[in-house]
Homo-oligomer: A and B are copies of this chain.
Amino acid sequence: MQLIDGKAVSAQIKKEIAQEVGEMRKAGMRAPKLVAVLVGHDGGSETYVASKHKTCLEVGFDSDVIRFESDITEAELLACVEQLNNDDSVDGFIVQLPLPKHINEQKIIEAIDYRKDVDGFHPINVGRMSIGLPCFVSATPAGIVELLKRYHIETKGKHCVVLGRSNIVGKPVAGLMSQKGYPGDCTVTVCHSRSENLKEMCLQADIIIAALGVPGFLKGDMVKEGVVVVDVGTTRVPSTETKSGFRLKGDVEFDEVAKKASYITPVPGGVGPMTIISLMKNTLLAGKKEIYK
């Protein structure tokens, strides 16, 4: 069994991005700039945005965080989006989700100029990905396929089972894994809460991407010998071993499944670190105008 070390891979990509930014500066270009819009004081959101901001600075990007209280109106937030759309110094920006209930998230997402939508949530980017056109692929699916690539894991003709059909992980990663080329060309099965034959499917899988958000869902007796397992789950569960009183647990019963797996991602330290670095990669592409002019 080989551990897929997302922390190490993301550190390596961070170096690569920093080098590219250095070259951009040398060539007289300005560094890419990412802006994060944060509404309210949700603990998770605060942590994510702080971490994105920090990573931006580490790779040499310009970065800004725009904060609003949670009583901001939808119109005010839309005005902010519009301003960022029109600001030529901003290459990409994200509006950190979730938003307060009185704001229509989908409306905000669709107001973002798709050419600056480095989160890849705008329908144009989702649609272009589905068709196989250049686009911003959202961070978690992009991070997953990058991990498979960096570990040279064979995918062509393999059976990949995706657990979960969410818009931000399950659906897009299923699309990427079945696309032509590498990493892709898999036979892909999408399972979800309504699936009748989920265990049967998992037992046949060469690659399992678990994104249900159910801690410890995938057990040892549900996988075959040699399976490649990517665990996207990150649920907080109570723990007596940490100061905070909780720890992150993935969708995979790691100890059991690891015994049979050829490759497996840990939680934390697997897919997690890849997510932020994929956002950085998108921002780099936006800064270099490599996807859209």
Contacts and interface: CB of A to CB of B under 8 A. Distances in A.
Contacts of A201: 187
Nearest to A167: B131
Contacts of A171: 130, 175, 178
Interface string A100-136: 0000001000000000000000111111101111000
Main secondary structure of the interface of A (DSSP, over half): mixed
A235 interface: no
Interface in A171-205: 171-172, 174-175, 178-180, 185, 187-192, 194-198, 201, 204
A156 B195 CA distance: 8
Q: How large is the interface on A (under 10, 10 to 19, 20 to 34, 35 or more residues)?
A: 35 or more
Contacts of A179: 165
A73 to B, nearest CB: 22
A158 B197 CA distance: 8
Contacts of A165: 178-180
A159 interface: yes
- Tell me how many chains of this kind the complex includes: 2
A188 B188 CA distance: 8
A157 interface: yes
A123 B132 contact: no
A175 to B, nearest CB: 7
B133 A106 contact: yes
B127 A122 contact: yes
A196 B192 contact: no
Given A124-B123, A127-B126, A167-B132, A189 B192 contact: no
A124 B127 CA distance: 6
B192 A190 contact: no
A128 B159 CA distance: 27
A128 B123 contact: yes
Contacts of A106: 133
A192 B197 contact: no
A207 to B, nearest CB: 13
Contacts of A185: 192, 194
Most B-side CB within 10 Å, residue of A106, A192, A204: A192
A80 to B, nearest CB: 23
Contacts of A156: 194
A189 B133 CA distance: 22
A188 B189 contact: yes
